Structure 1
Amino acid sequence: VLGHHLNDNAETILMRLIEGSGIKGLSGIQQNSLHSFYNSLDSLEPTSFYTVFRPMLNIKKEQILNFCKSNNIDFVIDKTNDDKSRFRNNMRHNILPLLTESFGDSAIENIVSSSVNLNQARLINNEVLSTHLQEHFLENKDNVKIMNISKLKKKSLAIRSGIIKLAIESAIEKNSLSKKPRLPIKKYIESVNLLIDSENPSSSIDLGKGIEVRREYEDISLELGKERKKINKIFALKIEGITNLEEFGIFAESLLTKKSSSSGLSKNSKNVILLDNDTLHEEIVFRTRREGDRFFPANSNGSKKLKKYLIDMKIPKIKRDSMPLLATGSEIIWIVGHEYSSNYQVAETTKNLLQITLKELRN
């Protein structure tokens, strides 16, 4: 329970007005508010939650002081309150008295009354924007919010900015960032709008605090607290065995068999590939892409640089450095989940088959 009073609220509202706050900041101090408790500043997740109550928020400071004096109740005054170099103290000792002197004692009540009206407008505004947010944003299992740019551009700038603001505030809340110093939400919104209007089809903005906004062609995504690192490790495929690809979150099962006895084998799919084992003369490995990689797409007459192929397939840039590839030397055999090379396809002359099946790695 805290002792904030009407004057405190008026000071806060005027300070935020001078600082250029939005509708949320100008709504002032709330009567009750929910807060998170962290064991330390480095903690990523709150250990508990608590509610702050401010029962005297609608009472003037003068009334509280008079009540204490009339009832012989002792109180403490913070010495720093007299330091007029502080923003709040300057507001308290210089600006508010000037306002009440010029416009009467009701000036403080009117300032707070306006903030109450703004808070009501904010709640209505958020309800409308939440409908737009739910309509256009999808949140996948990797905690990424994705939205189609062409749909977003059809909205007015005000609605679009409001949707972005709500999405970012949701990200801040879910990423446990509310305990940090005040974040420049307005600057974040401007940055995201620039990204949406950019002619560059693949770009990103790091907002800091574990939040990154990416544009990949017609999609814009808001990614929370997840740092993608390029996987440089090489995994040699174990023929007729299991290869643990832990960094990719999967493992590979390989099976060598004669073509004549292959009736029970699976067909090529996103997670399965059948290869002509007799055409594989060098070591086969799982790895990420490298400079100079080439690929012979199935049903094509020649090779392509892997980079160009991935761009043509509109595979997002963020995925290109972390997606698993099956390779031999600088030649790509299989872009996992997408396409396989024509050089190692099973043909009529194939005698020995190599089947590789990928499965999700579970604890």
Structure 2
Amino acid sequence: MLQKVANFIQDQCLILPGDKVIVGLSGGADSVALLHILKELRGQLKLELFAAHINHCIRGQEAINDAVFAEDLCKSWNIPFFLKIADIPELSRRLNLTEEEAGRQVRYDFFYEVMDKVKGNRIATAHHKNDQAETILHNIIRGTGIQGLSGIKPIRDGCIIRPLLVVTREEILDYIKMHSLSYREDATNADLTYTRNRIRNRLIPILTREYNPDIIERLYIMGNIIREEDEFLTDYCSKVYRELCTLESGQIIMHLNKFNACHGAVQKRLVRLAVSKLRGDLDGVGYDHIDAVVTLARRSRTGTRTLVPASGKGCPVIVAEVIYDKLIFRKNNDETPVEYYDELLPVPGQVRLEKLGLIVTAEKWDRKKSLHFSSQCIYIDEDAVKGSLRLRQRVKGDRFKPLGMNGSKKLKDYFIDMKIPRDERDRIPLLVDEENIIWVVGLQLNQDYRITGSTKNILKISIEYQRDNGG
């Protein structure tokens, strides 16, 4: 078995010469065997070895005895030992997690803490073939996709390694017996309250006895096959994602037609990628959420949207919406609508629209000076202005005469033609006088206020953005 594990480590590139490896040592047979194997391979693999143990405060004196055993074992084998005591029952209540979830979170946080302390680069856990089979069955029972069917990876996140995945629990117990190794029994492993224990102690024995005596090996091989195919799909979809997506102002924007041309399986992976990049993870994101985004994109109705929910870990709600030829993903910041504004613009003078992060300045302009039109600066015929200048928000029924047109146009239709998202329209101020819209700020000038050869007096209107206001 020692050579079998050594070959697996080499084939999977789990440990390289000079690596510092932290072993999660519970004191049970699996982790004791793992620590012993790595100790035996220490010279061959040129690694440094450390052990980390957590007292979960679940089993009273038995848990204390486990910690004493683990520490004594490491002293006898000359392996640096680290201990953490964590009240998992209290933590699970406080975080609204199961004890299994809370314990796992604390364990890995502690392993990373130890890795940082010793400047390590590998965390080794004692998962084996039976664990692989249990994980795959557990995922099937809960409902899963191709990633869940692939089970436990030999290496995860570039540093968490599972050197024993190539051996069964029976092989580990034979190894323990051959080397006369002591270990601790965890009574909670027989507690059928836990789903995983019921799978281990009830379901797998039935499957082995009545359906397939080689079920552990079959599930292990299936996991390997599916994981290989999943890795190919992940790599392929990452390339497609880079071709289809851009990141603009914190939003992920996909080309809608190209997205809809992709196979449905690829579409779902692209959505998962976009959501995970904005959220940080996919915790709490299910098939229905992903499918709702795909359905939204296929219908391609501009202005429609769906929400991907937040998670218990603080990940934000994600909004997926179709805006013309784009599928847009953004965090839902729950911005309140911009309050209606209507501000006098003195000439000369300026007005600050604080909620828009905008300063608008009006000044008289010498006709002899050159004119530099841009999206942030216009020049108008002062004599065409009727009364005072104001800056206001759009209102229902607004019309104006875009530059180059003879007749007027509904402002709403103009926004639609310009593909301005509905949520952004209230954030676009209008420069008006007492009768007309003079400038859709940053976008379009009114034909009747343009500079002509007969213009005598000129006003320069310019804007300055003070911050990124998201609109």
Q: TM-score, normalised by structure 1?
A: 0.80
- 1:102 Cα shift? 3.0
Within 5 Å, which residues of 2 pair with 1:324-335? 324-328=429-433, 331-335=436-440
In structure 2, give the amino acid aligned to 1:102.
E
Q: C-alpha offsets along residues 255-302 of structure 1, whole Å, 9 cap, x if unaligned?
A: 22243x3x32323x32211122331412422x4433343323233344
Q: What is the match of residue 341 of structure 1?
A: 446
Instruction: Report the 3-state secondary structure (helix = DSSP H, G, I; strand = E; otherwise coil) of the residue aligned with 1:200.
Output: coil
CA distance in 1, matches of 2:180, 2:351: 79
Please tell me whether Structure 1 or Structure 2 has the larger radius of gyration of its CA atoms. Answer: 2
Q: 1:160 to 1:274 in 2, by over 3 A?
A: farther
Aligned length: 336
Q: What is the match of residue 166 of structure 1?
A: 270
- Report whether the alignment pairs 1:311 with 2:416: yes
Q: What is the match of residue 7 of structure 1?
A: 130
User: Does the 8 Å contact 2:344/2:388 carry over to 1?
Assistant: no
State which of 201, 208, 214 in structure 1 corresponds to 2:302.
Answer: 201
Q: C-alpha offsets along residues 98-139 of structure 1, whole Å, 9 cap, x if unaligned?
A: 122235553102201111110110111222223322222233
CA distance in 2, matches of 1:4, 1:330: 76
- Report whether the alignment pairs 1:212 with 2:319: yes
- 1:60 Cα shift? 2.1
Q: CA RMSD in A?
A: 3.0
Instruction: Report the 3-state secondary structure (helix = DSSP H, G, I; strand = E; otherwise coil) of the residue aligned with 1:138.
Output: strand
CA distance in 1, matches of 2:433, 2:191: 72
CA distance in 1, matches of 2:248, 2:192: 50
| The 10-residue stretch of structure 1 (59-68 or 348-357) with the greater mean CA deviation from structure 2 | 59-68
Q: 1:86 to 1:354 in 2, by over 3 A?
A: same
CA distance in 2, matches of 1:347, 1:358: 23
- Report whether the alignment pairs 1:183 with 2:285: yes
CA distance in 2, matches of 1:239, 1:222: 42
Instruction: Report the 3-state secondary structure (helix = DSSP H, G, I; strand = E; otherwise coil) of the residue aligned with 2:236.
Output: helix
User: Does the 8 Å contact 1:3/1:56 carry over to 2?
Assistant: yes
Q: 1:311 to 1:74 in 2, by over 3 A?
A: same
Q: What is the match of residue 152 of structure 1?
A: 259
Q: What is the match of residue 274 of structure 1?
A: 379
- Structure 2 runs not aligned, ≥5 long: 1-123, 311-316
Instruction: Indicate the percent of aligned positions where both proteins have the same amino acid.
Output: 27
- Report whether the alignment pairs 1:52 with 2:153: no
Q: 1:196 to 1:362 in 2, by over 3 A?
A: closer
CA distance in 1, matches of 2:434, 2:319: 34
Q: What is the match of residue 136 of structure 1?
A: 244
Q: What is the match of residue 27 of structure 1?
A: 150
User: Does the 8 Å contact 1:295/1:341 carry over to 2?
Assistant: yes
In structure 1, give the amino acid aligned to 2:225.
N
- Structure 1 runs not aligned, ≥5 long: 35-49
Instruction: Report the 3-state secondary structure (helix = DSSP H, G, I; strand = E; otherwise coil) of the residue aligned with 2:199.
Output: helix
Q: What is the match of residue 352 of structure 1?
A: 457
Q: 1:68 to 1:167 in 2, by over 3 A?
A: same
Within 5 Å, which residues of 2 pair with 1:1-150? 1-34=124-157, 51-68=159-176, 71-77=180-186, 79=188, 81-103=189-211, 105-149=213-257
More relative contact order, 1 or 2 (CA 8 Å, 6+ apart):
1
CA distance in 2, matches of 1:310, 1:231: 18
Q: What is the match of residue 53 of structure 2?
A: none
CA distance in 1, matches of 2:303, 2:196: 45
Q: 1:109 to 1:323 in 2, by over 3 A?
A: farther
In structure 1, give the amino acid aligned to 2:284.
R
User: Does the 8 Å contact 2:135/2:152 carry over to 1?
Assistant: yes
User: Does the 8 Å contact 1:274/1:346 carry over to 2?
Assistant: yes
In structure 2, give the amino acid aligned to 1:57.
L
Q: What is the match of residue 284 of structure 1?
A: 390
Q: What is the match of residue 45 of structure 1?
A: none
Instruction: Report the 3-state secondary structure (helix = DSSP H, G, I; strand = E; otherwise coil) of the residue aligned with 1:314.
Output: coil
CA distance in 1, matches of 2:419, 2:389: 30
CA distance in 1, matches of 2:246, 2:268: 13
Q: C-alpha offsets along residues 53-107 of structure 1, whole Å, 9 cap, x if unaligned?
A: 333333323333454466342324152x334354322211211111222355531
CA distance in 1, matches of 2:246, 2:260: 17
User: Does the 8 Å contact 1:152/1:160 carry over to 2?
Assistant: no
| The 10-residue stretch of structure 1 (105-114 or 225-234) with the greater mean CA deviation from structure 2 | 225-234
| The 10-residue stretch of structure 1 (104-113 or 221-230) with the greater mean CA deviation from structure 2 | 221-230
User: Does the 8 Å contact 1:133/1:163 carry over to 2?
Assistant: no
User: Does the 8 Å contact 2:345/2:388 carry over to 1?
Assistant: no
In structure 2, give the amino acid aligned to 1:340.
L
User: Does the 8 Å contact 1:133/1:167 carry over to 2?
Assistant: no
In structure 2, give the amino acid aligned to 1:162.
V
Q: 1:216 to 1:166 in 2, by over 3 A?
A: closer
- 1:359 Cα shift? 3.5
Q: What is the match of residue 403 of structure 2?
A: 298
CA distance in 2, matches of 1:172, 1:24: 15
User: Does the 8 Å contact 2:267/2:294 carry over to 1?
Assistant: no
CA distance in 1, matches of 2:150, 2:292: 25
User: Does the 8 Å contact 1:294/1:330 carry over to 2?
Assistant: no
